[in-house]
Structure 1
Amino acid sequence: MSARFPGVRVCAGNQEVVNRSELVIIAVPRQDRHEALTGLKVDDKIAVNLMAGIAHDELRRPLATDAPLVRAIPLSAIRERRSVTVTHPTHSAVDAFFERLGGVLPVADEAAFDAFSALTGTLTTHYAYLATLASWAVDQGIAAGDAERYLRGLFQGVGRSLGDETRSLHRLAADHETPNGNNERIRTTWFDPANSEALDGLLADLRQPGGEEAP
């Protein structure tokens, strides 16, 4: 990265990274956090924790600090400034940082933050859903390339409609189907209690010390 981007500098160690930072972004794998963070001095910095399932109290132990800690859930679309980032607790400097990257959504407590973290775990399920539809089409004799091309176009259109925040998600669903039509038929038979049960299980794991594995 330092070869590609003039603004990127390689430091000798984590403490030098901290010393050069205004915001300390902690994005190490959770299982490596003690090795990476123990002994770091961050007392005059703001630490932004991106590790899913690691609450403030768990992070303070290896850092041994009373410095401000903020949890955040940035998604890859922030590189295009197209994704809102959930934060907790609200902090003016951290919220301003993520506001420039697509918007910020501060939440009141860690329980709400964990619920948003669980929702993040549904991302690859959406892609797998599309892949399943493409496989079904192949089983009907459609060429794989044609099936993927059609589904990409179909759901890119859906994605654009999500930008209309004047309509709720329920309203968008209703606007995309006709009474007794094909979409209504599939929607009303597709979902079952296992969807919410899977999210409930993930949320319970995220609220346990150490949390679940990252998405």
Structure 2
Amino acid sequence: MKLGFLGTGTIAEAVLTGLCTGADPPSTVVSPRNADRARALAGRFATVTVGKDNQAVLDGADLVFVAVRPQQAEDVLKQLRFRRDHRVVSFVALYPMSKLSLAVAPATAICRAIPLPSAAMRVGPIAVWPMLPEAVEILARIGTIVPIADESLLEPVWATTALMAPFYEQLRQIACWAVEEGVSPEQAGAYVAALYSAWTTVASGASDDFAALRDKSQTPSGLNEQALRIMTNASHYVALHTALDAVLGRLRESAM
């Protein structure tokens, strides 16, 4: 099965990198929209070629990944001629199935998916709805498939991905604080990254009960109890919910 990518942004590049550095890299044609990045991908991976235009990507592909920006999706797709036998996977956050299915007709084998930049390293969750077998087979090579029961549930899942930048900012703030206290930047960065990696590894084995992990990690009047209390009283977690609610509201508004 030959793959085609409409768009060569960050997510498309991550997915392609994961696929092409793994076993049995697929034959892939990418759009020339971002010419420099498209050429760079073709230069890095022998199985990747650059189509002369977006229609050439469709003409040379069986499984098409739509990886353009939300504001570009309508204009890009309406100019293209899809085939009935195309399989289509959309990575576009603000583009619901009601619009997507019309834009890619007569193709009917369609799904939406949420890969992350970590797909480049073949790790991390990839939410998929509905479970299109051809898409699942490919995406399972670069992450853990998380089946979603209904399109409306994609939105809260997608909203959580907006915490990636805040997560990295939290790591940066902790490392900067350690540097201010005399730790070298190299040691601070390495330690904080390893610390959070260890915590998330533990959490991945107990993902059904984060409250239990929270409780086990603190003792009365202990350091963790103190830090949790201060952050709770400072409305740190209220701000977290506020951010998630705002992102979810934006996603739901776009689907109307």
Under a length normalisation based on structure 1, what TM-score does the superposition of the two structures give?
0.86
Q: Distance in 2 between matches of 1:22 and 1:172?
A: 45
1:57-98 per-residue CA deviation (whole Å, 9 max, x = no partner) reads 122344344522211001122233321210111222222222
Per the TM alignment, residue 103 of structure 1 is displaced from its structure 2 partner at its CA by 2.0
Q: Distance in 2 between matches of 1:71 and 1:99?
A: 14
Taking only the aligned residue pairs, the percentage that are identical comes to: 27
**SS state at 2:127 partner:** strand
Per the TM alignment, residue 166 of structure 1 is displaced from its structure 2 partner at its CA by 7.1
2:58 corresponds to which residue?
18
1:102 corresponds to which residue?
143
2:111 corresponds to which residue?
70
Residues 108-123 of structure 1 mapped to structure 2, 5 A cutoff: 108-123=149-164
Work out the number of aligned pairs and report it: 211
**What is the aligned-residue RMSD (CA, Å)?**
2.3
Counterpart amino acid of 1:117? W
Runs of 4+, deviation exceeding 4 Å: none
Instruction: Check 1:2–1:60 CA distance in 2 against 1; reply closer, same or farther (3 A cut).
Output: same
Q: Which moved more, 1:200-209 or 1:98-107?
A: 98-107
**SS state at 2:51 partner:** coil
CA contact (8 A) 1:81 1:100 kept: yes
**SS state at 1:205 partner:** helix
Under a length normalisation based on structure 2, what TM-score does the superposition of the two structures give?
0.73
1:51 corresponds to which residue?
92
1:108-143 per-residue CA deviation (whole Å, 9 max, x = no partner) reads 112210000000000111110111122333444544
Higher RCO structure (Cα 8 Å, ≥6 apart): 1
Matched, 1:206 2:236: no
1:168 corresponds to which residue?
209
Per the TM alignment, residue 50 of structure 1 is displaced from its structure 2 partner at its CA by 0.1
Per the TM alignment, residue 8 of structure 1 is displaced from its structure 2 partner at its CA by 0.7
